[in-house]
Chains A and B, each alone.
Chain A
Amino acid sequence: GDSVTQMEGPVTLSEEAFLTINCTYTATGYPSLFWYVQYPGEGLQLLLKATKADDKGSNKGFEATYRKETTSFHLEKGSVQVSDSAVYFCALSGLYNQGGKLIFGQGTELSVKP
């Protein structure tokens, strides 16, 4: 079945460092891909998404490119801030998922130190 695998955390970076969180997927057909973020004590919220191959999603300085050939959707940010400390989830919405029923990765915790 469809699945999402993320790099394990926690990831600890200094402020202004470059961030990459790896995400790979297995899916039938051509899924839509998402990154959700969960700030401490809050629910998840959509960070960015891409719906077809080679699309780049971007928001708040974060970017991710849908790579069909490597089945990947890695999250990047050029210069992280303390306020980016959160748990990041990669997710997919498969071809036959009946809309809105997402499959999530295990989450990667990011801690940014001043």
Chain B
Amino acid sequence: DADVTQTPRNRITKTGKRIMLECSQTKGHDRMYWYRQDPGLGLRLIYYSFDVKDINKGEISDGYSVSRQAQAKFSLSLESAIPNQTALYFCATSDLAGVSGELFFGEGSRLTVL
């Protein structure tokens, strides 16, 4: 089983719908992240969490919200989806110190908003 699991892997929805992307991890890491990948733009950070009580906005948080339900679970919500939120979304984790800088990624959730 993957260490970082994202669900759903693919989702097609309509404008205005609420969508939740879920991420769970078995690595025991405290730090979790949500990134968005768009062609030609690389990965951009949406939100990150250093522990259950610590949630921080990334560079593109508008239109998104998150919930850290437990150390192992970090969900991303789109309250009212719009077409320019069509993208590939990645959850990632890192260890407490983050000193190594290594992130461990899930396989991604492809979201299409019509």
Chain B interface: which of A12-20, A39-47, A64-72? A39-47
Task: For A89, give its contact among B43, B50, B100 (CB under 8 Å).
Answer: B43
- Chain B residues within 8 Å of chain A by Cβ, number: 28
Across-interface contacts of B41 in A (CB, < 8 A): 106
Contact call A101/B33, Cβ cutoff below 8 A: yes
Contact call A43/B101, Cβ cutoff below 8 A: no
Contact call A99/B99, Cβ cutoff below 8 A: yes
Contact call A100/B31, Cβ cutoff below 8 A: yes
Question: Could you mark each residue 90-105 of chain A with 1 if its beta carbon is under 8 Å from any beta carbon of chain B, else 0?
Answer: 0001000011111011
Contact call B45/A101, Cβ cutoff below 8 A: yes
Q: Given the complex of chains A and B, what is the CA–CA distance between A21 and B99 in angstroms?
A: 26
Contact call A98/B43, Cβ cutoff below 8 A: no
Contact call B106/A43, Cβ cutoff below 8 A: yes
Question: Shortest distance in angstroms between A103's beta carbon and chain B's nearest beta carbon?
Answer: 8
Across-interface contacts of B42 in A (CB, < 8 A): 4, 6, 89, 104-107
- Given the known A-B contacts A100-B31, A101-B33, A106-B42, are A43 and B105 also in contact in the complex, defined by CB atoms under 8 Å? yes
Task: For A43, give its contact among B4, B95, B100 (CB under 8 Å).
Answer: B4
Q: Which residue on B lies nearest to A1, using beta carbons?
A: B59
Question: Shortest distance in angstroms between B28's beta carbon and chain A's nearest beta carbon?
Answer: 15
Q: Given the complex of chains A and B, what is the CA–CA distance between A107 and B41 in angstroms?
A: 8
Contact call B102/A101, Cβ cutoff below 8 A: no
Across-interface contacts of A51 in B (CB, < 8 A): 101
Question: Shortest distance in angstroms between B1's beta carbon and chain A's nearest beta carbon?
Answer: 14
Instruction: Give the 5 A-B CB pairs with smallest separation, nearest first.
Output: A99-B98, A100-B98, A43-B105, A100-B94, A93-B101
> What 8 additional pairs, Cβ within 8 angstroms, besides A32-B101, A89-B42, A107-B42?
A44-B90, A46-B102, A49-B102, A93-B101, A100-B98, A101-B58, A102-B101, A107-B43
